[in-house]
Amino acid sequence: MLYMRIDEAYCVSDYPRKGFFMTNEQLYAYIERAITERHLAGDKVQLNKLQTACGVIMLAAQDTSQPAIAKQFQILAARAANLAEKISGRR
């Protein structure tokens, strides 16, 4: 894969290609599973990173007028935050 620098951003020269995109459902399922795995492992740092990732996706969904998707990822972000708090003993 060849990356080219254009206006301070990197882009893939063969974009878009077959199989390049993930659906919202695939992304949601992966993050949901990752939250569960990190919780069971007691990994508060990774839970906080997943919370941040969900927040970014939520804002992107809001920016593109997709409130249902934004709400799904808001709920995931809250779940990650709650589990991180539980691990740290603040609850």
Query: CB-side exposure of 58: number of CA atoms within 13 Å?
Result: 15
Q: Which residue has the tokens 């603040």?
A: 90
Q: Report whether pLDDT(2) > 50.
A: no
Neighbours of 78 (CB within 10 A): 13
pLDDT per residue as tens digits for the range 12-61: 555 556 666 888 999 999 999 999 999 999 999 999 999 999 999 999 99
